[in-house]
Amino acid sequence: MNILLVEDDEMLLKSLTFFLRSNTHIVIPFNNGLDAISYIETHVRDLDLVITDLNLPFAGGQQVIHTTRQIADAHLPIMVLTSSGVESTEIEVFDLGADEFISKPFSPNVLLKRIEKLKR
The confidence score (pLDDT) of residue 117 equals 92
| pTM score | 0.94
Domains, the chain, with CATH or none: 2-106 (3.40.50.2300)
How confident is the model over 42-59, as pLDDT tens digits?
999 999 999 999 988 899
Given a cut of 50, the residues of the chain with pLDDT beneath it are none
| β-pair partners for 78 | 50
The confidence score (pLDDT) of residue 33 equals 96
Q: What is the side-by-side strand order in the sheet with 26-30?
A: 26-30, 2-6, 49-52, 78-82, 100-103
The confidence score (pLDDT) of residue 112 equals 96
- Phi and psi at residue 111, to the nearest 5°: -55, -45
Identify the CA nearest to 112 among candidates 36, 49, 31.
49
